[in-house]
Amino acid sequence: MGKGRGASLCLVFLSCWFLLGFVQGTPNYRDALAKSLLFFQGQRSGRLPPTQQITWRSTSGLSDGLFSHVDLTGGYYDAGDNIKFNFPMAFTTTMLSWSTLEYGKKMGPQLQEARAAIRWATDYLLKCALATPNKLYVGVGDPNVDHKCWERPEDMDTVRNVYSVSPTNPGSDVAGETAAALAAASLVFRKVDRKYSTLLLATAKKVMQFAVQYRGAYSDSLGSAVCPFYCSYSGYKDELLWGAAWLLRATNDVSYFNLLKSLGADDQTDVFSWDNKYAGARVLLARRALVNNDKNFDQFRVHAEDFMCRILPNSPYSTTQYTQGGLIYKLPESNLQYVTSITFLLTTYAKYIKSTKHTFNCGSLLVTPNSLTGLARRQASEPTKTVDYILGVNPLKMSYMVGYGQYFPKRIHHRGSSMPSMASHPQAIGCEGGFQPYYYSPNPNPNLLLGAVVGGPNQNDGYPDDRTDYSHSEPATYINAAIVGPLAYFAGRNAN
C-alpha cells in the first residue's frame, strides 16, 4: 500500500510536538472501556443480531464453509480486511476472557458486553473444532485475493476458501491457541452458563490433545494462506505452553503441569503478542506461585519478573525502546498491539504481587506494584504512560481510539468504515470498485468504527492519519482485546 502522503503530514505533526505539550486531566476510562468493547460489534461476521449497536454494519459471510459442507459462519474479521484468521482471533478471545476473569468485577455494565464479545468468537471457534472429526478449521477467505479488493464485507464476491489443520497437516500453534481460548472462556461462563462452559472446556481438551499429539507449525502446513499475514514466527512451543497453562487453570489436572514441565521454555522475551505467548503464559503461571503460594511454579514467576525487568525503562536490564513522548516502541508496524498486550501484563502482574505484598528487584531497582501500574498509567512525576498516551495524553493530544476524545483517527484503514453503509448505498460495490472513490479519498471515513484502536504513531510520536498507511492506521481485534483489562482496572480504581 502507498505511504507517500503520510511522510509530509508527519513532518507537520512533528513540528507541532513542542507547541502542543501534554493533555492535562485524567482520561475517562469507563467511557473508553465501553467503546473498546463496542468495537467488536463492528468486526462481526455472520448474521447480526437485533441488539447490534454498530448499525452501519450488516449481515455478511453467510456462505462461509458452504462449499466444504460445513457451517463456518460467524466469528470476527481480524482487522480492516474481510478475512477470518483463527490464529489472531483465538488470541483475541483468550485476551478478552483473561480481561474478564481478572477485571470483570470492575467492568460494571460492560461485563455483559465483554461476555457477548467472547461468545461471538467462541460460538465460531466451537464450529471450527467440532464440524469434522480430526480436523480443526483455522480460517476462511483467501487473503491474497481479498487484499486486492476494497469492498464491504456485505458485498464480498471473492473466493471464501476454507483452511484447516489435521494429523497429516499439523498446526500445534493455532490448535494450542484455540484450546487456550476455549479453556479461558469456559472459566468466564462457568457461573453464568454451566452447560456452555462445560462444552467449551471439553472441546478445549480435545483441541489441546490434537495440538500435542500432532506437532508442527501451521505456517508450514498452510503456506501462503497464512503467511506473511499471520505466520507463526515464534514457533509452536509457546502456544503449547499457553494452552497447557490455561487448561491447568481451568481443570487443575496434573497432566497439564507435566506438559508444562516437559516443554522447558526458558526462552527470554520482551514482547507479548498474537504470535509470541511466552510472557503471557509465564505471568499466568506466576499467579499460582504468588496467589496460591505453590513453589512448583516459582520458575515461571522468575521468568515473568525477568520480562518485567526487560520492559521497565529505569531497569538496568531494559531492552525496550520508548518514544520521546513516553510510549513503548517495539516494531514499526502496528506498534500499539505490543503496547496494549504488554500493558495488560503490567497491570495484571501488579495485581498479583499487590495481593501478596510481593516485590522484586531488577538489579538494584526495587519493583513494587506501583512501579508496574505507573508505567501503564501517567503519574505526576512522569510525562505520560501507555494507557493515557493511547487516550490522548501524548505530544499530538490525539486519542488513538476512534470516537474517544475530540481528536482521533478519521481515516482508518478499514473497508467497512471507509465506504458508505448498505443503508445509504444499497447497490453492490465490487472488488475493485471501492479503491478510487473511497480508499484513495482524502475525506474522513463515513462510518465511525467506535472504540477501534489503530496501529498507532511512529517512533517519533507522529501520526499521519492516512488510510493507505495501514501499518499505522489499521485497527485489529487483538489490539483492542488487550486494552480492555487495563481500561477496566483504571476505571474500577477511579470509581473506588
Maximum Cα–Cα distance for the chain, whole Å?
Answer: 65
HSE-CB at 12 with a 13 A cutoff on CA atoms is 7
- Asked if 475 and 456 touch (Cβ cutoff 8 Å), the reply is no
What gap in Å lies between CA 153 and CA 485, rounded to an integer?
29
What gap in Å lies between CA 285 and CA 249, rounded to an integer?
9
Kindly calculate the radius of gyration of the chain based on its CA atoms and give it in whole angstroms: 21
C-alpha cell at 273: 503478542
Catalytic residue among 102, 305, 465, 466: 465
Cα distances from 158 to residues 64, 149, 421, 429, 438, in angstroms, run 11, 8, 19, 12, 19
Count Cβ atoms below 10 Å from residue 202 Cβ, excluding itself. 13
Cis? peptide before 426, omega within 30° of 0: no
**Strand-pair category, 136-140 with 84-85:** antiparallel
Packing angle, helices 86-103 and 172-188, rounded to 10: 30
Closest by alpha carbon to 95, among 327, 302, 348, 329? 348
What gap in Å lies between CA 414 and CA 417, rounded to an integer?
5
Residues contacting 327, CB < 8 A, separation 6+: 335, 339, 384, 386, 389, 394, 456, 457, 461
Amino acid, single-letter form, for residue 370: N
What gap in Å lies between CA 64 and CA 128, rounded to an integer?
11
Catalytic residue among 303, 358, 413, 414: 413
Closest by alpha carbon to 233, among 221, 218, 248, 222? 218
Whether 425 is a known active-site residue: answer no
Whether 474 is a known active-site residue: answer yes
Whether 413 is a known active-site residue: answer yes
What gap in Å lies between CA 324 and CA 10, rounded to an integer?
15
Element (H, E) at 282: helix 278-290
- Asked if 304 and 280 touch (Cβ cutoff 8 Å), the reply is no
For residues 351, 357, 358, 363, the Cα torsion angle rounded to the nearest 10 degrees is 100
CA angle (132, 137, 138) in 5-degree steps: 170
Active site residues: 413, 465, 474
